[in-house]
């Protein structure tokens, strides 16, 4: 015995060999004279050094295998620098000593949702003490364990909580018993390997404490979860290894430590389910910037698979915002000094313990989910080769690989730009960049049923209860309309001032015509900051609607052919996915109307004309450039060629016939690059700017309710109708090349949203044969948007000079307008001019035409002086000679009505006004 201060200590000589092949040295191990220690602390020595130490209740622990593992690791280095480092480290390794559990001061700190105060226990707390605690045996229990040089720290009165406190609060929200395992004393050894070895003893202490809980409260091991960071992950693994017959339920390793854990460590056999999240595993990473490919602190985490499921976020190292070798990092060191170095050194490693609380936010229905995909390598994952299917009961499976590749075509540099951001907000943007399937159970998609027999709606999930369906006023004898909104939208009804959302207006329209109506509200998945997240989930929403329809079929024997689907933007694409579910059964949906179906993300897999018996698409914001008639430069505004919102709608043919309203973009009243728009945007602020930007896209939602006004007067001969005409392109339509419905009437279609005529079986056959058919019409800026279309056909002798024509039409009222006159190579004896008016002009009975050459035309004429005979003839002849004019009324689907308002005009030989050429109706015709 020796005296150390006022204490007696026992001196025990222990032989330790620095080099197993070299001489032995004797060290004095000082152990405080303590009766409890002398009873429980035993030593077993051999000539090769310290082999084993045993502690009552916990068992024995050998350092030999651990030392041998580290020795092999370090002495395997070949170069001089590594050899020197290995020699220095070996000196530390050989000083490894198992700590006495009593002196570790490991605390088990209990938190429960029912108590505001924590309770602290030693690992060997007795049963009576535990019974007096706030522990609730019928709830799940989690143990959270920190890593090297860390400890449990409660939330400060102001400022951000430390990670263990955050995770503790996360589990408390879900009503867990939470134990924070604080083993700071052994975890803070200057010698990392000493702390690493002692994870075995701390793990045994955790297991001992759990077994006491089991004996005291009959807790089930499968209801226990262990979560540890770095060394704490291996503590959890060593705890799990001590349960052989009934295993721990779940172990989660947060970037399990690497050095010292090549063999004995966290393993899949340690629990029923073991997961590991690697965030600093490996010192190299594939990066565009070669400097950032070196991960200085990538050795902290373990590079080996350790679990049933090993997650490798961003390949397992080099987390976004944690770059160590970059100009930004160097600037931080200059401004912050060593603090910046320490913060960046642990950034990747610490990211693992930030993810659990990030997951808490992502549990919300409209949030992205952190989903890992099985893959052979990160490069293959980045290439989109490993994005597997996600399957949901009743809905089927969904594969996002092709969609992710398609997304990158639109914004090839966006992902890199987001990853290069270094501030905290970049974490949010990186999450938002993910394409994740929305869980149908958490998406809060609502199906609101309305019928003509009830003033109240009934709300269902996508799996409606048959008994509840039977109790509603749904009638299987009626047709049923499903309405679906698009991106960042939702069903909103009417406000206190009587202003109704477009879905409400359309619902009321169809209810008035004796339909069952189901409004589908999926606003949570539709509101993601990442449009492509919402776009991908259109597939899942479509499957949910299809499942609802199947319930109608099962409960009421309902025919899918009596179903009509109407969707705007992403909703239009959703309806295509609904229809695809019924194509497989040869029992197709009756009718789909796509209201400006969304474009981005739907280049290959989208709404198609085969998705229903009849599919129509109404395009209002398709294309970034508007087709403008360049022949009339006097009214040409170059700014209006650019359609800032033109990317929202698809430019593809997706219906049996596609109607391109005003060419499919740049709707009247929706100018986004004019001076008036800029003034309105400045006055209205961001909200007004957003509304104006979406104006053309939203015009598609306004047309159905506007049609209601027109339909109510449909039997009246003078009612305007949206008759669209087949044409090769919009410019040809504007130039009057497309005004004939054809002998069979198939070259024009009536834009309507209850298309009874076209749904007749005999007509459907012809429609399917005619795909694709592009149809054009013009509208005005205000409801009900309809314009009366007239085609004016001039029958002339050959005209040699360009000019302008002023038309004066006399019908129910007198109108005047001008049109450019261009020379034609094809059929130079007829010139067509399209004229539209918001008023019905009736039959045109008289017309006056004034022709004026442009400067170019006059110059061409007077250059004829170079040919004297031709010049004399041209000076004496009229610049234009018109033999007759046809005025063709276009705005009615009934040919007899069109004919009744059409007319042929002939020259008025009695006109002596001298003002142009006067024509009157040919009464003989």
| DSSP per-residue codes, 264-296 | SS--GGGEEEEEEE-SS--SB---SSGGGGB-T
Average pLDDT over residues 676-702: 67
| Top-tier CATH class for 101-370 | alpha beta
Average pLDDT over residues 618-631: 77
Contacts of 139 by beta carbon, 8 Å cutoff, 6+ apart: 175, 176, 177, 223
Report the range of poorest mean pLDDT among 142-151, 461-470, 612-621, 622-631.
Answer: 622-631
Give the pLDDT score at 711.
Answer: 87
Angle CA 91–93–94, to nearest 5: 70
Contacts of 564 by beta carbon, 8 Å cutoff, 6+ apart: 479, 480, 481, 482, 515, 589, 590, 591, 592, 593, 754
Q: Which of these is catalytic: 150, 229, 236, 255?
A: 255
Q: Given this chain, do its domains 101-370 and 790-921 carry the same CATH topology? A: no
Nearest CA-CA partner of 182 in 158, 216, 206, 211: 206
User: Is the confidence at residue 324, as pLDDT, over 90?
Assistant: no
| Top-tier CATH class for 446-670+688-777 | alpha beta
Q: How far is CA 111 from each of CA 134, 143, 355, 913, rounded to the nearest angstrom?
A: 8, 11, 21, 101
CA–CA dist 345, 414 (Å, integer): 27
- Prediction pTM value: 0.67
Question: Residue 439's pLDDT band (boundaries 50, 70, 90)?
Answer: confident
Give the pLDDT score at 11.
Answer: 39
| 349: annotated active-site residue | yes
User: Is the confidence at residue 909, as pLDDT, over 70?
Assistant: yes
Report the range of poorest mean pLDDT among 520-534, 548-562, 667-681.
Answer: 667-681
CA–CA dist 648, 668 (Å, integer): 17
Q: Which of these is catalytic: 229, 234, 278, 349?
A: 349
User: Is the confidence at residue 79, as pLDDT, over 70?
Assistant: no
Nearest CA-CA partner of 302 in 348, 356, 262, 347: 262
Greater pLDDT, 774 or 912: 774
Give the pLDDT score at 651.
Answer: 93
Question: Residue 548's pLDDT band (boundaries 50, 70, 90)?
Answer: very high
Q: Which of these is catalytic: 230, 457, 528, 534?
A: 230
Q: How far is CA 752 from each of CA 141, 503, 604, rounded to the nearest angstrom?
A: 61, 17, 27
SS3 852: strand
What are the backbone dihedrals phi and psi of residue 634, each rounded to the nearest 5 degrees, phi first? -65, -30
| Top-tier CATH class for 790-921 | mainly beta
Give the pLDDT score at 642.
Answer: 65
The percentage of the chain sitting over the pLDDT mark of 70, rounded to a whole number, equals 73
Exposed / middle / buried, residue 63 (Cβ in 10 Å: 0-12, 13-18, 19+): buried
Question: Residue 923's pLDDT band (boundaries 50, 70, 90)?
Answer: confident
Q: Which helix (H) or strand (E) holds 534?
A: helix 531-536
- Start-end of H helices in 694-760: 695-711, 730-734
Give the pLDDT score at 12.
Answer: 38
Q: What does the chain come to in residues? A: 925
Q: Are the CB atoms for 903 and 792 separated by under 8 Å?
A: no
Give the pLDDT score at 47.
Answer: 30
CA–CA dist 397, 225 (Å, integer): 30
Per-domain residue ranges for the chain? Answer: 2-94, 101-370, 373-413, 446-670+688-777, 790-921
Average pLDDT over residues 229-244: 96
User: Is the confidence at residue 501, as pLDDT, over 70?
Assistant: yes
* Cα radius of gyration rounded to whole Å, the chain: 40
User: Is the confidence at residue 8, as pLDDT, over 50?
Assistant: no
Give the pLDDT score at 686.
Answer: 45
Please give the mean pLDDT across all residues of the chain.
81
Q: How far is CA 787 from each of CA 79, 690, 842, rounded to the nearest angstrom?
A: 85, 27, 13
Question: Residue 336's pLDDT band (boundaries 50, 70, 90)?
Answer: low
User: Is the confidence at residue 22, as pLDDT, over 50?
Assistant: no
Contacts of 22 by beta carbon, 8 Å cutoff, 6+ apart: none
pLDDT single digits (tens) 780-819: 999 999 999 999 999 987 676 678 899 999 999 999 999 8
| 255: annotated active-site residue | yes
pLDDT single digits (tens) 34-63: 333 322 333 333 334 445 789 988 988 888
| 894: annotated active-site residue | no
Looking only at the bridges linking them, the beta strands covering 614-619 and 657-661 are parallel
């Amino acid at each position: 015995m020796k005296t150390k201060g006022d204490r007696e200590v026992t001196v025990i000589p222990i032989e330790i060999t620095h080099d197993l092949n070299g001489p032995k040295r004797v060290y004095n191990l000082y152990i405080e004279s303590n009766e409890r220690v002398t009873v429980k602390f035993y030593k077993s020595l051999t000539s090769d050094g310290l082999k084993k130490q045993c502690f009552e209740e916990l068992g024995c622990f050998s350092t030999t295998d651990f030392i041998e593992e580290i020795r092999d690791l370090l002495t395997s280095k070949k170069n001089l620098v590594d050899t020197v480092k290995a020699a220095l480290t070996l000196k530390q390794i050989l000083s490894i000593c198992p700590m006495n559990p009593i002196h570790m001061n490991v605390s088990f700190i209990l938190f429960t949702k029912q108590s505001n105060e924590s309770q602290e226990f030693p690992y060997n707390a007795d049963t009576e003490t535990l019974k007096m605690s706030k522990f609730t045996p019928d709830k799940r229990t989690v143990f959270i364990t920190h890593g090297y040089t860390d400890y449990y720290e409660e939330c400060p009165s102001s400022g951000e909580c430390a990670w263990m406190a955050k995770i503790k609060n996360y589990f408390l929200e879900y009503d867990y018993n939470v134990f924070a395992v604080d083993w700071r004393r052994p975890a803070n050894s200057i010698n990392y390997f000493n702390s690493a070895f002692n994870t075995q003893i701390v793990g045994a202490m955790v297991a001992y404490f759990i077994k006491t809980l089991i004996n005291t409260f009959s807790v089930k091991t499968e209801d226990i979860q262990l979560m540890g960071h770095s060394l704490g992950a291996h503590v959890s693994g060593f705890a799990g290894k001590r349960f052989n017959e009934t295993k721990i339920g779940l172990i989660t390793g947060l970037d399990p430590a690497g050095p010292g854990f090549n063999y004995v460590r966290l393993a899949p056999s340690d629990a029923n389910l073991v997961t590991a999240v690697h965030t600093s595993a490996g010192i190299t990473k594939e990066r565009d910037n070669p400097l950032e490919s070196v991960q200085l602190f990538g050795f902290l985490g373990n590079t080996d698979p350790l679990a049933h499921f090993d997650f490798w976020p961003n390949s397992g190292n080099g987390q976004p915002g944690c770059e160590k070798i970059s100009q930004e990092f160097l600037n931080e060191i200059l401004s912050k000094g060593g603090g910046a170095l320490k913060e960046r050194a642990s950034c990747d490693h610490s990211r693992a313990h930030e993810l659990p609380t990030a997951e808490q936010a992502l549990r919300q229905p409209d949030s992205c989910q952190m989903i890992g995909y099985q893959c052979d390598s990160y490069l293959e994952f980045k290439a989109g080769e490993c994005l597997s299917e996600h399957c949901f009961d009743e809905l089927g499976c969904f594969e996002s690989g092709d969609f992710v590749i398609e997304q990158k075509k639109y914004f090839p540099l966006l992902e890199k730009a987001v990853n290069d951001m270094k501030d905290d907000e970049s974490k949010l943007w990186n999450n938002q960049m993910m394409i994740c399937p929305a869980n149908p159970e958490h998406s809060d998609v609502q199906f609101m049923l309305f019928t003509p027999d009830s003033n109240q709606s009934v709300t269902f999930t996508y799996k409606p209860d048959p008994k509840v369906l039977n109790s509603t006023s749904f009638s299987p004898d009626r047709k049923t309309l499903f309405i679906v909104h698009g991106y960042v939208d939702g069903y909103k009804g009417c406000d206190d001032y009587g202003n109704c959302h477009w879905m409400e207006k359309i619902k009321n329209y169809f209810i008035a015509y004796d339909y069952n109506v189901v409004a589908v509200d999926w606003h949570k998945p539709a509101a993601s900051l990442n449009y492509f997240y919402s776009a991908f989930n259109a597939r899942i929403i479509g499957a949910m609607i299809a499942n609802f329809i199947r319930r109608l079929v099962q409960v009421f024997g309902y025919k899918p052919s009596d179903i009509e689907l109407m969707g705007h933007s992403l909703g239009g694409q959703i309806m295509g996915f609904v229809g695809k579910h019924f194509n497989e059964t040869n029992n197709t949906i009756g009718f789909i109307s796509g209201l400006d179906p969304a474009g981005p993300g739907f280049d290959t897999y989208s709404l198609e004309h085969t998705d229903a018996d009849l599919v129509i698409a109404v395009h209002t914001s398709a294309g970034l450039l508007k087709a403008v008639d360049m022949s009339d430069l006097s009214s040409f505004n170059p700014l209006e060629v650019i359609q800032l919102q033109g990317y929202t709608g698809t430019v593809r043919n997706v219906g049996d016939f596609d109607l391109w309203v005003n060419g499919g973009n740049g709707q009247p009243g929706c100018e986004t690059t004019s001076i008036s728009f800029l003034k309105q945007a400045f006055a209205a602020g961001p909200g007004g700017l957003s509304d104006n930007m979406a104006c053309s896209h939203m015009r598609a939602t306004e047309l159905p309710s506007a049609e209601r006004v027109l339909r109510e007067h449909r039997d009246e001969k003078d009612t305007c109708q949206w008759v669209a005409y087949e044409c090769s392109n919009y410019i040809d339509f504007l130039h009057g090349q497309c005004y004939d419905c054809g002998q069979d009437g198939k070259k024009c279609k009536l834009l309507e949203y209850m298309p009874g005529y076209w749904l007749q079986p005999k007509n459907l056959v012809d429609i399917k044969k005619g795909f694709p058919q592009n149809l054009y019409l013009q509208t005005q800026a205000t409801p009900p948007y309809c314009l009366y279309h007239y085609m004016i056909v001039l029958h002339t002798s050959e005209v040699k000079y360009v000019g302008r024509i002023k038309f004066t039409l006399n019908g129910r009222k007198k109108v005047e307008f001008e049109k450019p006159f261009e020379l034609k190579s094809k059929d130079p004896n007829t010139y067509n001019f399209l004229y539209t008016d918001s008023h019905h002009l009736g039959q045109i009975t008289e017309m006056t035409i004034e022709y004026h050459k442009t400067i170019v035309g006059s110059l061409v004429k007077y250059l004829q002086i170079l040919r004297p005979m031709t010049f004399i003839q041209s000076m004496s002849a009229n610049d234009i000679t018109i033999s007759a004019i046809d005025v063709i009324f276009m705005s009615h689907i009934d040919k007899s009505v069109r004919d009744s308002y059409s007319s042929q005009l002939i020259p008025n030989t009695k006109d002596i006004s001298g003002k142009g050429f006067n024509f009157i109706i040919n009464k003989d015709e």
